[in-house]
Amino acid sequence: MIENDRISRRTAVTAVAASAALLPFATGPSAHAAAGGPAFLHGVASGDPLPDGILLWTRVTPTPDAVPGSGRGPAVEVGWEVAEDESFGRVVARGTATASAAGDHTVKADVRGLRPATTYWFRFGVGEVRSPAARTRTAPARDEATAGIRFGVVSCANWESGWFAAYRHLAARRDLDAVLHLGDYIYEYKSGEYPAAKYVVRPHEPAHEIVTLADYRTRHGRYKTDADLQALHHAHPIVAIWDDHEFANDAWSGGAENHTPGAEGDWSQRMAAAKQAYFEWMPVRPSVEGTTYRKLRFGKLADLHLLDLRSFRSQQVKAGSGKVDDPERTLTGRAQLDWLKAGLASSDTTWRLVGNPVMMAPVAFGALPAHLLEPIAKLLGLPTGGITVNTDQWDGYTHDRRELLDHLSGHAVRNTVFLTGDIHMAWANDVPKQAATYPLSPSVATEFVVTSVTADNLDETLHVLPHTVSLPAAGAIKAANRHVKWLDMDSHGYGVLDVTAERAQMDYYVLSDKRKRDATVSWARSYRTLSGTQQVERVKAPVR
């Protein structure tokens, strides 16, 4: 048995030394809120799997008035334990921590000393009250020649746009090593702004746009009351990065499109509040303080570089201004780009996966007819005239992209796969060194983009029937961008990435109706890249 006191200090939760015996866990129900006692109303979660460890998370409601963001409620001692079996007959690690209002009563335990590539069960307790038990899994040993790894891949879950059925279907699977969340885990808008009030499926809390620490905490708390989101966290460890809506729409280092200086306070204070709430409420282990860029390894099969493309970026510019090529502008920041380049070049794994919040592959819109140009611009947040690039994506920071792709080509870095969310569409792309001359110029990487869990797609943004605008738009985009092998602008759902030594394959799954809690799911398409090819190809069936 491991007595473990390495609790995360990244949040304001106070850690205490591990006890020789865990706080007693009762066998009765966990929710005692009605009686005024402590309760685990927001579930439990795990994340950032290592070969010897996992990060555990929960939030305690010590008294009924100690709701997220309230600043109320006493400090309580929380016990945690990890077991090899669901009945907790073989406990292998245990410890304690203190949850207090200073950290919104959230708790993290960074557990080490576990066995690699192993499924474990964990739970928390306060006195005789225990949390739900949840499943997690460690990563393969660093030098293990593992046969394969499999991730669920999701992004863009807007509470007001629909139900999180995609999470429920991923939670039902038992073949995943982890779930990769590529950003927009929460949305910051006021209720009825996105989508408009008459299309809202369920209202935000708080109802106003979130700008303060209390606001962000409340919104995170609201999300984690969702039964399907809790089920996802109870079934699999999550590997999460943020994009803009964890802060505000089209965020950059000095502001955001959805931030009004003065009326909504200082941007740096708002970003700091959003980051504090994120690290309190998410099972994320930051390797660099205040960012989500870090690296995980899955045996000798794959490295996973995770990017933060909001903290350091320069402000977006208007498309067609010529400033997208300015070498003084950056998407990644110098330190992060150097870290990424070095990590990709020095990797000794078969695959180099990159968790990438915004799309890497270039997309030209100049060939689109006018009646398609305007609605696509509306969805992607672009000016409607003279569009050649989406300036919130890597297209708006071409110097950084050119430097990275030249690095991959110049150092013969093979098998780099960008895993992307953000734009509420599913794509399968080659990533050419020079898009204008592709396929004569080579592809140096590949990219799989997953659609949104619920956030509105093109036809929903326009409030027209599916395929009305999306089908001709997709055809025009593919015709103008030959490296785009597939594009689905209509669906919602998730991806499942299956990686072996021979190939990396993304299976795309779509929901029947995001506005229905009991939505079904079906397989839509599969694409893969074979080791050494740097190109994607269609596959006729998903991995079983």
Residue 133 forms part of a structural domain:
yes
Per the model's pLDDT, the better-predicted residue between 164 and 21 turns out to be 164
Judge if 56 and 180 occupy the same domain: no
Q: Which residues does residue 417 pair with via DSSP β-bridges, in sequence order?
A: 353, 446
Per the model's pLDDT, the better-predicted residue between 155 and 11 turns out to be 155
| Model confidence pLDDT, tens digit, residues 61-75 | 999 999 999 999 999
Measured CA distances, 84 to 71, 136, 498 (Å): 36, 10, 25
Measured CA distances, 151 to 36, 469, 489 (Å): 40, 32, 23
Judge if 208 and 109 occupy the same domain: no
Rounded Cα gap, residues 153 and 155, in angstroms: 7
Rounded Cα gap, residues 1 and 475, in angstroms: 59
264 close to 205: Cβ distance less than 8 angstroms:
no
Would the pLDDT of 382 be above 70?
Answer: no
Judge if 127 and 160 occupy the same domain: no
Residue 406 forms part of a structural domain:
yes
Judge if 522 and 398 occupy the same domain: yes
- Segment 88-104 mean pLDDT: 98
Judge if 376 and 280 occupy the same domain: yes
Q: What is the pLDDT of residue 366?
A: 55
Would the pLDDT of 319 be above 90?
Answer: no
Residue 544 forms part of a structural domain:
no
Residue 168 half-sphere exposure toward CB, CA atoms < 13 A: 14
The CATH number of whichever domain residue 443 belongs to comes to: 3.60.21.70
Residue 122 forms part of a structural domain:
yes
Beta-carbon contacts of 358 under 8 Å, excluding residues fewer than 6 positions away, are 243, 309, 331, 392, 393, 394, 420, 422, 423
Domain span at 321: 149-539
Judge if 319 and 401 occupy the same domain: yes
Rounded mean pLDDT of the chain?
90
Which of 72, 102, 137 represents a domain boundary (last residue)? 137
Residue 143 forms part of a structural domain:
no
Judge if 281 and 421 occupy the same domain: yes
Residue 80 forms part of a structural domain:
yes
- Segment 168-186 mean pLDDT: 98
- Segment 370-398 mean pLDDT: 64
Say whether 53 sits in a helix, a strand or coil. strand
Q: What is the pLDDT of residue 365?
A: 66
Judge if 411 and 488 occupy the same domain: yes
Which of 419, 285, 408 lies closest to 347 in space, CA to CA? 408
The CATH number of whichever domain residue 90 belongs to comes to: 2.60.40.380
Residue 144 forms part of a structural domain:
no
Judge if 166 and 45 occupy the same domain: no
377 close to 387: Cβ distance less than 8 angstroms:
yes
Judge if 121 and 177 occupy the same domain: no
Q: What is the pLDDT of residue 171?
A: 98
Which of 235, 233, 250 lies closest to 318 in space, CA to CA? 250
E strand or H helix at 376:
helix 370-380
Looking at the chain, the whole-number percentage of residues with pLDDT higher than 90 is: 80
| Model confidence pLDDT, tens digit, residues 187-233 | 999 999 999 999 999 999 999 999 999 999 999 999 999 999 999 99
Judge if 272 and 354 occupy the same domain: yes
Would the pLDDT of 15 be above 60?
Answer: no
Q: What is the pLDDT of residue 33?
A: 46
Q: What is the pLDDT of residue 375?
A: 65
- Segment 327-335 mean pLDDT: 97
Which of 114, 137, 160 represents a domain boundary (last residue)? 137
- Segment 164-180 mean pLDDT: 98
Say whether 198 sits in a helix, a strand or coil. helix
Pairing assessment for the beta strands 119-126 and 129-130 based on DSSP bridges: antiparallel
Say whether 61 sits in a helix, a strand or coil. strand
Q: How many domains does the chain have?
A: 2
DSSP 305-343: EE---SSSPPPP--TTSSGGG-TT--SS-HHHHHHHHHH
Residue 125 forms part of a structural domain:
yes
Q: Residue 379: pLDDT band by 50, 70, 90 thresholds?
A: low
Could you identify the residue written with the tokens 């592959």? Answer: 361
Judge if 427 and 383 occupy the same domain: yes
Which of 86, 113, 137 represents a domain boundary (last residue)? 137
